Structure 1
Amino acid sequence: MPANLTPDYFKAEKWFKSASTDEERILALEEMLRVIPKHKGTDHMRADLRKKLSKLRTAVEEGGKKGGKRTDIFHVPKNGAGQLVLVGTPNCGKSSVVAAVSKASVNVTDFPFATQTPVPGMMYHEDVQIEIVDMPPITPDYAPAGMVNTYRNCDIIGIVIDVAADPLEQMEVCTEYLQSHRLLPDENTDEQDEQGNRLARKTIVICTKIDAAPDGTIETLAELTERDFEYLPFSAHTGEGLHEMVARVFELLNVVRVYAKKPGKEPDMKEPFTLDKGSTVEDLAFTIHRELAEKLQSARAWNAPDIHDGQNVQKTHELTDKEIIELHFA
């Protein structure tokens, strides 16, 4: 019986043959199994693919258990005011989002699994830098083991859904992955682990390719999804929703920007310090220099509500967004 293999299968097979790592071969085999026609003519091929996949997974797992210090390719140090890390299925548009809002060298292609390691970039909300991280895609059957640590260390998770192609199926894959690792807040998930580390992360849904989706798709997806997510429409083709998405991420970071001013000089309005809301003048001093903070005597504030410009404030003065602070040390 003929196999009648599809163009998508041959693309995945070509990718498998050109793969340079076992991790990449695993992803390619996953894709081959996903797109191969399922009938008697492909029974032996599918069995062979599953056998290859099992061997590769075993090899990768055993290699990770053997001695020797290994570099964690999924460790992405935080930069800027906060970090947004994307999660999504193959070809959902993650790389297109990163390319649209930053200058990161992402690989935007029509071929799945083009992203194999985290790709960080910096996006701007006004004068504030926010880090955005493209990640390898996940499937119902596979996600790189070390990738979960990237999500555990970030500030916000962005579920990227191509709303022009089976959005509910994509959502189920992403939420199942995040829930299985206790990254989504709900009544069944503790907010902290035994060591007091925060588990669940703020999560948004970035709906890509809205210019190609039928009207009402996002509303239908929201109704069919059990969780109460916030949905942000986005089109890399038209630019729709770009600025709104970045602005909303800044709001969710829950930070304030503060401009430092040296006595007798103009404030530096180009690179603000970003601190958590509720931070004080003393917290700002520690952010600038820990040793100097111990010598902090007083401060003056501008552009703050309920006080006059240049007024003296206490160390405990709570900072507000776009405030200008002049620190005085002993």
Structure 2
Amino acid sequence: MPANLTPQYLDAERRFREATTPEEQLAALNEMMATIPKHKGTEHMRADIRRRMAKVRTEAARKRSSGRGPTWHHVPREGAGQEVLIGPPNAGKSRLLAALSNATPVVAPYPFSTRTPFPGMVPFENVQIQLIDLPPIAPETAEPWLFALIRQADGALLVADLASDDLLSSMEETLTLLERFNVSLGGAGAPSEDGGGAEGRGSSGSAGTSQGPGADGRLDILRELYASRWPILAVSAETGMNIDALRLEMFRLLNVIRVYTKARGRRADLSVPFVLKRGTTVQDAAAVVHKDFADRLKYARIWGTGTFEGQMVQREHVLEDGDILELHA
């Protein structure tokens, strides 16, 4: 029986021959397996692809343990905070980044299309949150730098594919690898009515895929297993479902507040806030605005939800999100 190979398969085969790294080879082999026609005439070819995939994985593992210096990636922080997208292969992380931001990552139907960190900026009201699409969490991509980036981030979005029959096993493998590399996804408080409200460093489990058969049932299982650890929100990059709710969850995850300043007798500029950690006091904020204020500060006036208009407060007063601060030295 003729193989009748598709143009997509032939293109992937060409990229495999031209690949120079195990990651590139594995990505091409995965696409070859995804695009090869599935019939009796291609049985031997599919078996050969599987053998080559196993060989590439073994070679990659051997190089990692050979003592050669590892490759490290660093992404400079921008915006109100830095969060990372993590998850198993083909979970839809790149598509989710494109839906949340103006970034243009490679979005492909085969796994391992993301090979290096790919950052984008996610707008939320009047701030920007940096979101980094990371390579999938899998044995063949388990490099120390990947887990170092996760540990250094302010928060993580753990992405799962509700359309996948392997959802639970892939989630467990991801969590096992994270634990093996000493990455602890911090817990969160009780979810809010719109899908979750996390305070503090942690992970927001977001399941984003096309809503295929069985998606609702898999979402229920995820909530049963993990809702006590993290907020879980079903989103769709294709339809935009809950994308705005996810932006809100990302901001909550940072555990920060926005504070505005004004001069006496003038209006506050509400377009560009100071982004400060929750729990910041007037004294702390004064030092951020200008170091001289911290030393000479006598008192401050605040306009906000927790005070009456222009209330005089002392240095130890704890600020809330949206407060307008007038410093007096």
The TM-score normalised by the length of structure 1 is 0.79
- Residue 247 of structure 1 aligns to a residue whose secondary structure is helix
Deviations 1:134-159 (A, max 9, x none): 11123344423310111001121111
Deviations 1:238-262 (A, max 9, x none): 1101111111222232221111112
Question: Is 136-145 or 312-321 further displaced after alignment?
Answer: 136-145
Question: Is 151-160 or 282-291 further displaced after alignment?
Answer: 282-291
- Measure the CA separation in 1 of the matches of 2:46 and 2:99: 41
- Measure the CA separation in 2 of the matches of 1:154 and 1:226: 22
**Aligned position for 2:266:** 265
- Residue 172 of structure 1 aligns to a residue whose secondary structure is helix
- Measure the CA separation in 2 of the matches of 1:262 and 1:226: 45
**Aligned position for 2:136:** 137
In the TM superposition, what is the alpha-carbon distance from 1:324 to its structure 2 partner? 0.1
**Aligned position for 2:302:** 301
**Pairwise mapping of residues 146-295 of structure 1 onto structure 2 (< 5 A)?**
146-166=145-165, 167-184=167-184, 201-214=201-214, 215-223=216-224, 228-295=229-296
2:234 alignment partner AA: P
1:206 alignment partner AA: S
**Aligned position for 1:82:** 81
In the TM superposition, what is the alpha-carbon distance from 1:298 to its structure 2 partner? 2.5
**Aligned position for 1:190:** none
- Residue 151 of structure 1 aligns to a residue whose secondary structure is helix
The TM-score normalised by the length of structure 2 is 0.79
Verify the 8 A CA contact 2:22 2:57 in the aligned structure 1: no
Verify the 8 A CA contact 1:259 1:322 in the aligned structure 2: yes
In the TM superposition, what is the alpha-carbon distance from 1:61 to its structure 2 partner? 5.5
Pair 1:210–1:33, CA change in 2 (3 A): closer
Pair 1:253–1:227, CA change in 2 (3 A): same
Verify the 8 A CA contact 1:298 1:312 in the aligned structure 2: yes
Root mean square deviation, CA, Å: 3.5
In percent, how many aligned pairs have the same letter? 36
Deviations 1:151-193 (A, max 9, x none): 0011211111110112212212221122222323589xxxxxx
- Measure the CA separation in 1 of the matches of 2:16 and 2:323: 54
- Measure the CA separation in 2 of the matches of 1:35 and 1:172: 27
Question: Is 211-220 or 11-20 further displaced after alignment?
Answer: 11-20
Pair 1:41–1:213, CA change in 2 (3 A): closer
- Residue 211 of structure 2 aligns to a residue whose secondary structure is helix
**Aligned position for 1:318:** 318
- Measure the CA separation in 2 of the matches of 1:304 and 1:150: 36
Unaligned runs of 5+ in 2: 188-199
